[in-house]
Amino acid sequence: MPASTKPRLTLRIDLGPGQSIGPGKMRLLEAVAETGSISSAGRALGMSYRRAWMLIEQMNLGFRRKVVTTQLGGTHGGGARLTPFGEDVLKRYRAIESKAESGAKSHLAVLARAMKPGKAAPVKRTRLSR
């Protein structure tokens, strides 16, 4: 296989009208679990607090049970953590993803080999690279 980035699958799951989960929301759940706060999680992903809060609210309202609970605190404060249900959603998403990737392995290898080599993003070259 020629030098190239490993092919990667990204999954979006549409669960109903206006309700989907995908890599962004799942990374956000992981970041909440790691940081214990919505604002820190958003910051870790380069996302505004407002956007992080909104994505979590979408999930909390769309599912029968909450995926994240918050404790009251200071400004944007308090803490946040995944509920057991939120952990389950995340686990299932990752399971679907890894199953899809292993099932796709041979096709992905063929597709990756079919790519033109050296089609990397334009590389800045300076005469004296430094």
57 forms part of the interface with a second copy (CB under 8 A): no
Residue from 41, 56, 89, 90 touching a second copy (CB under 8 A): that is 89
| SS3 (DSSP) at 19 | strand
Nearest distance from residue 42's CB to a second copy, in Å? Answer: 23
CA neighbor of 89 nearest in space, from 11, 38, 29: 29
Nearer to a second copy, 10 or 75 (CB): 10
Burial state string for 60-89 with b = 16 or more CB within 10 A and e = fewer than 16: beebeebbbebeeeeeeeeebebeebbeeb
Residue ranges that bind a second copy, judged by CB under 8 A = 4-5, 7-19, 21, 61-65, 85, 89, 92, 95-96, 99-100, 103-104, 107-108, 110-112, 114-116, 119-121
